[in-house]
Structure 1
Amino acid sequence: MEIQQQVLKFRYHIGVALLVLGAIFAALQLAPRFLNVLAYFWPLFLSTALFLALVLFFAKTQTFSHSDDSSLPKPAEELLDFVAGHHHDPPLDARHKSD
């Protein structure tokens, strides 16, 4: 009788565990094999690897001169200021002036 009481006490836990095991088993049986996925997506994997290799190559070979930063235009900072709402109002143009 004690075993039945313990089983009834944990019936929801056992049910959830059985459902999870069934879902894992079904996923393993129905999912495509890894080699099939690799065979289908190998061009994507190869192009991504080449792109990342080029990014690393250019990052290592690019030289930056930090001495002339004040003379360079900073359009990204202007864009961020505009998006953040810290922009100046443009002068009113007669063609776009609302009456």
Structure 2
Amino acid sequence: MEFLEKLIKFKFHIISALVLSLLTVSLVTYSPGFLTVLSYFWTLFLSTALFLAAVFFFARTSDLPTSSSISSDGSGVKLAAEGILDYVVGGQHEETVLDSFTKLD
């Protein structure tokens, strides 16, 4: 009787261990193999590897800014960021952008 009481005391642990083991066995049994996944995603892996190689190559070969060109208060970086944003926007002002959205009739 003592064994049955201890078994009932740990019934949630036993059930969760059983469910976890069944889940593990089913995942191992029904999941695709490593080579199957690799053959399906090889183009994605290759393009990502080439992109990372290009990033590392350009990071190594490009000249990094010297410490004298960047001020300690960060104003040089802020000025460069504003220049990039102006280039991306293309010199458009807010009024022309907002007017184009309001004239959607």
TM-score (norm 2): 0.64
Q: Distance in 2 between matches of 1:29 and 1:73?
A: 56
- SS of structure 1 residue aligned to 2:32: coil
* RMSD over equivalenced CA pairs, Å: 2.8
Q: 1:68: how far off?
A: 4.4
Q: Which deviations, in whole Å up to 9, do the C-alpha atoms of 1:21-40 show, x marking residues without a partner? A: 11111111111111100011
**1:24/1:74 CA distance change after superposition, 3 Å:** same
1:7 matched residue in structure 2:
7
**1:75 paired to 2:85:** no
Greater fraction of residues in helix: 2
**1:76/1:8 CA distance change after superposition, 3 Å:** farther
Q: Distance in 2 between matches of 1:78 and 1:16?
A: 55
2:47 matched residue in structure 1:
47
2:103 matched residue in structure 1:
none
**1:38 paired to 2:38:** yes
TM-score (norm 1): 0.67
Unaligned runs of 5+ in 1: 80-89
Unaligned runs of 5+ in 2: 71-75, 87-92, 100-105
Taking only the aligned residue pairs, the percentage that are identical comes to 41
Runs of 4 or more, structure 1, over 6 Å off, are 76-79
Q: Which deviations, in whole Å up to 9, do the C-alpha atoms of 1:22-75 show, x marking residues without a partner? A: 1111111111111100011111101111110110010011103344454x6432
